[in-house]
Amino acid sequence: MKFSDIDKRLKAVNPKVIIAASVMACFLIGWVDWYAGGEFSFSIFYIVPVVAVAWYAGRKSGITISLLAALTWLAGDLIKGHKYIMALTPYINAAARGILFLVFSALVLIVRRYLSGEIKFANEDFLTKISNSRAFFNYAGMELARLKRYREPVTLAYFDIDNFKSINDNYGHNTGDALLHDLAYTIRKKIRPTDVVARMGGDEFAILFIEASPAQAKTIMAKLHEVMMNRMEKMKWHVTFSFGVVTFLKPPGSVDAMIKMADDLMYIAKRKGKDATNYFVYR
């Protein structure tokens, strides 16, 4: 099993479960350390629960488990009855270990934030803050695999903004950017949390409606188109939309094939005068 698969499964686990397991691990390591009589060093093993909690449960829990690991180690040292020249030696050692664990915890949090930012940047359109084409291909790939396995319908809508160039030419690119951002926000608010909207490039967008039958797709698209046009009229942006909508009842050969079908339908709508929606059911 790949690390990414393990990571995905652990992220789905309640953080309280991970914290509880890590607390038990600290106590178990402490007991083994005491039972071994100090002949072996168990410091590396304490790092594991510290890292796990920091990664999956957050900063506060990472601090708590770091201190618990240091205190458990201290308790083991005291129970063993080692003789030290200075009475404060075990406590100084415990403080040093606590600092070490806290440093590990902080480093884990920094790495996690960095990776989360990189993943978000790689999958998010910088202007509209919705998914980009790369992320959409990933989502569509997962839905295609699900369609092959469960035969649940999925609908793909592909559209672009009619006369978008005139907005840039007449009002400037800042207005054009504002339109794209506002449109993406409007769509994201209207569709279900399970659905996916992405900017595919320029003024072209794609929406993936999960488990949407042909009849449901038409209903959804009619409502969505109304909301989009109302928003454009309110902002006095004189644009319309050309849609290509395909409901897949059986899986096509690839995600590229899915997008091409919807894209072809969209261009038919544009050639016939724009501001239209073409539907197709792939059986």
Provide the terminal-to-terminal Cα distance of the chain, rounded to the nearest Å.
36
Which pLDDT value is given to residue 257? 96
Q: What is the pLDDT of residues 138-181, one digit of tens each?
A: 999 999 999 999 989 999 999 999 999 999 999 999 999 999 99
Backbone angles phi, psi at 226, to 5 degrees: -65, -45
Residue 276 CB contacts under 8 Å (≥ 6 apart), including other chains = 242, 243, 269
How far is Cα 167 from Cα 176, in angstroms, rounded to an integer? 6
Residue type, 25: A
Residue type, 51: V
Q: pTM (2 decimals)? A: 0.67
Residue 11 CB contacts under 8 Å (≥ 6 apart), including other chains = 56
Kindly state the helix (H) or strand (E) to which residue 239 belongs, with its residue range: none
Pure H helices in the chain: 3-11, 15-36, 43-57, 59-80, 89-123, 133-150, 164-171, 173-190, 214-234, 255-271
How far is Cα 12 from Cα 146, in angstroms, rounded to an integer? 20
Which pLDDT value is given to residue 41? 67
Enumerate residue ranges in the chain where pLDDT < 70: 1-8, 10, 37-41, 81-82, 117-120
Which pLDDT value is given to residue 80? 73
What does CATH list as the number for 131-282?
Answer: 3.30.70.270
Which pLDDT value is given to residue 267? 95
Which pLDDT value is given to residue 16? 87
How far is Cα 207 from Cα 140, in angstroms, rounded to an integer? 10
Which pLDDT value is given to residue 57? 87
| Residue limits of CATH 3.30.70.270 in the chain | 131-282
